[in-house]
Amino acid sequence: MPLVSLPFKGRAGVGMVFIANHQTHPYPNPPPEGEGFKASPEMNRIEATNDFVVKFANVNGSGSASANELFAKCILRMGVPVSPRNIFPSNIQGLPTWYEVRVSEAGWLGRRGGYDLLVAMNPQTWDADVKGLAPGGYLFYDNSKPLPKFKFRDDIAVVGVPLTDIANQTWDDPRQRQLFKNIMYLGALSMLLGIERDVVVTLIGEQYKGKQALLEPNVHALDLGREYASQHLHPIGLKIERRDNVGDRIFVDGNSAAALGMVYGGATVCAWYPITPSSSLAEAFQKYCAKLRVDKDTGKHNYAIVQAEDEIASIGIVTGAGWNGARAFTTTSGPGISLMNEIIGLAYFAEIPVALVDVQRGGPSTGMPTRTQQSDVMFCAHASHGDTNHVLLFPEDPHECFEFAAKALDLADRLQTPVFVLSDLDIGMNHRLCKPFEWDDARAYDRGKVLTQEQLEAGMPFGRYRDVDGDGIPYRTYPGTHPTRGAFFTRGTSKNADAKYSEKGEDYIENMQRLQRKLETAKTLLPQPVLHTAPHPARHGAIYFGSTAPSMAEAITKLDADGMHIDALRVRGYPFADSVRNFIDAHEHVFVVEQNRDGQLRSLLVEQFEIDPARLIPILHYDGTPITARFIARAIGERMRGAEVTRLRDDKVA
């Protein structure tokens, strides 16, 4: 028989299948024909078009990242939505790294959970990676070196390609062999899945534009993989077919989006200290400023970026810049916020505008530097000692990272206070499909209540911490506005309304109460919550925020399909709008879905609205991986079913 392409026989969990044409195999160590094969009923292999998950298991520093990202972009170019996630270690080279690509024609962008095709390129993690593959799934691996039978599973299809052998026969340089091996597996996968060659070649051309010496060998490596798959492999049950489901959406990471938002929002000063996962935000800001903030006539740079000696210096620099009238921000993660606390308190009490982007990661302490969590919510809301309350913004995707970065600068100036944008690693460091960024060139920056020289000259009274309008926000002046009027001491100590030092209890109380009035004003200025109303009347609701959004949207659909209907509210800022309280009051119980251990958003809801904590049911996910729709639907579904059982029992007793 010219083609030994074993049929999928044997019950799921019984027959392992190798897909290869052994008679024409030109390389050593082909998979043993028929090994693990059981002739019995059809195997339940996974068959799906434009709806599956691929997991790449690689070694960090092996050059696989660009090939894996290229794989995701190829599918996008064929009009099929994808949602990739990079899971990487906190070292530079040598440890395992994974890259998940969810393919979803329906447009689901949250992490699904599980994977259907495993590209196993790391011997260190082989056993765990193979164990996690869905029954009926496909294991793609480099079969240049034979592996014992116990390394495989009986209920999966195995696709072997001798990548190392082909690379060794084609290239002499060890580094080239490693790098082009990645492009070869991309080529083989593109053939197996039906990804068009022209799409891949076009993307490689864009990546290496003007670098012919790199372009040609990459295309050659791609074709080696495609040629081997064409001649020696049988098609698998997973397919990519061209669609038109991407539309005008863009593919960008949240850190780049936030950086661009800061540029458009008018930030001229950035001070930062490198920390995962926020460093790329400052680097992107520098890149965009070099392109957009250099005077074409003079070559003058209209911005200042300082990589400070630590996070304490960073927050000090931007607080000083904000005091001086510049729009300034810093970007960091949880450990950086820990170090910044004292100066954050100074900015709050002295009422100095400053924006902070916290790209959250797993804590406490060093925690999990390269894993995601929503674990800084309470911390940022009350950063610093004493009675402090800070304004928080919760973006759901890169589009809102752009929007909220610019919004944070306006809010900081309007409210004269620190404003936090709480992103996280899942949004910040992963590419996501989102709506195109929008900007109105006629938009004017909201600089807040700033007295001009003319107003001071006209005799307008000035008390730096005096509440003139009843909204808790005083008027301020920029340094040097007037030679004799409008000056004040900037104090971190207690003071009266005219910024004079005071330890009188009534002055302190008035100042603290005014700061609370300012927070009430903030509620009217923040982005309002987004409401999803169930198709049928719902007794239960759910509140969520940030990167939980894409998985939550899918989970709601799953719950609806199971006849369990909930209303859902995505909060986008803190302090919470009054509509959040109204939403809670309208439901018997409200599930609060978040990615931390302690239910931090739930705690803020209880604190602000003084409601019975028993009405807010925590749904918590905090293993460092992005929350999945499966997790949310299962957790809420189990509790809703339990509530129904309890209700039935109560009715019977009654």
- Does residue 380 share a domain with residue 279? yes
Spatial CA neighbour of 566 closest among 587, 536, 588, 540: 540
> Could you tell me the CA-to-CA distances from 600 to 31, 387, 529, 597, 621 in Å, in that order?
52, 18, 18, 8, 12
Domain shared by 208 and 64, yes or no:
yes
CATH of the domain at 385: 3.40.50.970
pLDDT level of residue 648 (50, 70, 90 thresholds): very low
Is residue 106 domain-shared with residue 148, that is, in the same domain? yes
pLDDT of residue 29: 43
Model confidence at 419: pLDDT above 50: yes
Q: What is the 3-state secondary structure (H, E, C) of 396-425?
A: CCHHHHHHHHHHHHHHHHHHCCEEEEEEEH
Claim to verify: residue 545 and residue 396 sit in the same structural domain: no
Could you tell me the residue range of the domain that residue 587 belongs to? 530-653
In a domain, 234, yes or no: yes
* Residue among 626, 627, 646, 647 at smallest CA distance from 635: 627
Contact 418, 348 (CB under 8 A): yes
Element housing 117 (H / E): strand 115-120
Q: Is residue 322 part of a domain?
A: yes
For 420-447, write each residue's pLDDT tens digit: 999 999 999 999 999 999 999 999 999 9
Within a domain: residue 6?
Answer: no
**Same domain as 535, residue 521:** no
CA distance 68 to 195: 14
In a domain, 201, yes or no: yes
307 and 226 fall within a common domain: no
Asked whether residue 172 falls in the same domain as residue 307, the answer is no
Q: Which run of H or E residues covers position 261?
A: helix 254-264
- Asked whether residue 637 falls in the same domain as residue 542, the answer is yes
* pLDDT score recorded for residue 509: 97
CATH number at residue 649: 3.40.50.920
Residue 379 · residue 422 · CB < 8 Å: no
Residue 543: name the closest of 632, 628, 426 by CA. Answer: 632
Q: How many CB atoms lie within 10 A of CB 300?
A: 10
- Domain end among 209, 239, 269: 239
Return the sign of the alpha-carbon dihedral for residues 612, 617, 623, 629: negative
281 and 372 in one domain? yes
pLDDT of residue 327: 98
**Last-in-domain residue among 492, 525, 558:** 525
CATH code, domain carrying 188: 3.40.920.10
Whether residue 447 is contained in a domain is answered as no
Strand order in the sheet with 530-532: 530-532, 566-570, 540-544, 589-594, 616-620
* pLDDT per residue as tens digits for the range 194-232: 999 999 999 999 998 888 888 999 999 999 999 999 999
User: Mean pLDDT throughout 41-46?
Assistant: 76
User: Taking the model in full, what pTM does it have?
Assistant: 0.91
2 lies in a domain?
no
Task: Tell me: do 292 and 207 sit in the same domain.
Answer: no
Q: Can you say whether the dihedral through the CA atoms of 129, 58, 136, 31 is positive or negative?
A: negative
pLDDT class of 644 with cuts at 50, 70, 90? low
CB-based contact 180:167 (threshold 8 Å): yes
pLDDT at position 93 is 65
Q: What percent of the chain has pLDDT over 90?
A: 87
Q: Is residue 382 part of a domain?
A: yes
- Total domains present in the chain: 4
Q: What's the whole-number mean pLDDT along residues 353-371? A: 96
Same domain, 643 and 557: yes
Asked which of 506, 525, 544 is the last residue of a domain, the reply is 525
- Same domain, residue pair 219 and 288: no
Distance CA(381)–CA(388), nearest Å, equals: 8
378-410: pLDDT as tens digits: 999 999 999 999 999 999 999 999 999 999 999
| Residue at 245 is within a domain | no
DSSP 61-75: TSSHHHHHHHHHHHH
